[in-house]
Amino acid sequence: MTINIALATYDSIVLGCDSLSSMVDSVIFPFAPGTDFARDANGEMIRDANGNFVIALDHRQVSQVATTVFGGVSKMFCVYDSGNNDDGGTSVGAVTAGLAILGGVTIAEQAKRFRRLHKNEQYDNVEDVATAFYDYFCDLWDAQFGDVDETQRAFLPTIQFIIAGYGKDDDHGKVFKIDVQARSLQEQFPDGDHSGICWGGMANYVERLTRGVDQSLMYTATRQVAEAIVAQRLSVLDEMSAALAEAGIALPEGLRLDITEQTEPTLPWDSQQADIDFGNLSTQYAVELVELLVNTQSGMQRFARGIPTVGGRTHIGVLKRGEGFRLLNEPQLQHLHTGYSHDF
């Protein structure tokens, strides 16, 4: 897993990510709450030809478990640069989460190939670059997974991108989120002041810090509220039926009441989000905020149960109109362990 962040201000766009890459396996924990063995129409557990119990396969019960983790991975890269930034040209960068290898090549290298293939193209806005980038990775995805049976596609890993930058003809910076498996390309902050923050990958601690809740809490609370509403409805109907019977009121023969909820339960999830004026942040403040959020996700992962899947060095990239895409303080490869001799 990965943490990706994009923060758009009036002055710049700052990208952030971690640098761990993990190898994961899809597993089902048969004795975990919510998981059960396969059962027949009579509720009896099903056994296979060898007498072993069969586990019910539900993609919602499949967990991704890390088995190996590597550091020093590149998840941030320049996607397109028109080369005329002094004249307000087009410059676009991206961060990625999800699948790390596609077509036998790392995602970072595939991004470099895209840049080489399109270096002579004239893109005057970020959306055209994002669309071409999206199509490029969809084609790669289809080439690798196109033959996978439709019933198994829910278990395939996805590739996500946050792609952002400034286009020659764009009035402001643009940020897009891409999900290759879901075939989704969506612009972020299209309205208002076009500033804000978004994230991808594993961002539960970032969500809690900035919004006060994360997706898992929202899902659990919404489900419990819905279940409570159903239970209350059934209880009211039972009490009404009992009261009518006790009063000797006979209901018309054949009367049937089907009362369903017409509105999904909602809660004010955004009421406690952090009060940050993203648009007016200076570029330095934006860099420091993105650092804080990436490091928070990485730091909490270090102490969480299991193998950390977010961590390592925090990478920061900055996009400003007329200045292109810059990676800040990127390290070079080093040979540190030179042996036990002190000779030069």
Residues near 189 by beta carbon (within 8 Å), at least 6 away in sequence: 8, 175, 195, 196, 198
Neighbours of 180 (CB within 10 A): 26
Cα 222 from chain centroid (whole Å): 20
Q: Would you state the pLDDT for residue 247? A: 87
Q: What does the alpha-carbon distance between residue 343 and residue 141 come to, in Å, rounded to a whole number?
A: 51
Q: How many CA atoms lie within 13 A of 191 on its CB side?
A: 0
Q: Residue 321: is it exposed, middle or buried by C-beta count within 10 angstroms (0-12/13-18/19+)?
A: buried
C-alpha to C-alpha distance for 232 and 315, rounded to whole angstroms: 50
Residue at 236: amino acid letter: V
Strands (E), the chain: 3-8, 13-17, 21-27, 63-70, 76-81, 91-98, 101-102, 105-106, 159-166, 174-179, 184-188, 196-201, 315-320, 324-327
pLDDT at 147: 87
Tracing tokens 């989460």 back to the chain, one arrives at 97
The pTM for the full model equals 0.81
CATH 3.60.20.10 spans which residues of the chain? 3-26+56-212+274-327
pLDDT (0 to 100) of residue 158:
87
d(CA 236, CA 234): 5
Q: What is the distance between the terminal CA atoms of the chain, rounded to a whole angstrom? A: 41
How deeply is 294 buried, as exposed, middle or buried, from its count of CB atoms within 10 A (0-12, 13-18, 19+)? Answer: buried
Strand order in the sheet with 184-188: 76-81, 91-98, 159-166, 174-179, 184-188
Tell me the H-state helices in the chain: 107-117, 126-145, 204-211, 215-246, 283-303
Q: Can you give the pLDDT at residue 344? A: 60
With CA atoms as reference, report the closest residue to 164 among 318, 330, 10: 318
pLDDT in tens, the chain (344 residues): 789 999 999 999 999 999 988 766 677 776 677 677 788 888 888 888 888 888 776 656 676 666 677 888 899 999 999 887 666 789 999 999 998 899 999 999 999 999 999 999 999 999 999 999 999 999 999 999 988 887 777 778 889 999 999 999 999 999 999 999 999 999 999 999 999 999 999 999 999 999 998 888 888 888 888 888 888 888 887 888 888 888 888 777 777 766 666 666 778 888 888 999 999 999 999 999 999 999 999 999 888 887 788 889 999 999 999 898 999 999 888 888 888 876 66
Pairing state of beta strands 159-166 and 324-327? Answer: unpaired
Residue 263: its pLDDT value, please? 67
3-class state of residue 110 by DSSP:
helix
For residue 245, give Cα distances in angstroms to 237, 240, 248.
12, 9, 5
| Domain 3-26+56-212+274-327, CATH class in plain words | alpha beta
Beta carbons within 10 angstroms of residue 213's beta carbon: 18
The number of CA neighbours under 13 Å toward the Cβ of 148 is 14
How confident is the model at residue 306, as a pLDDT? Answer: 78
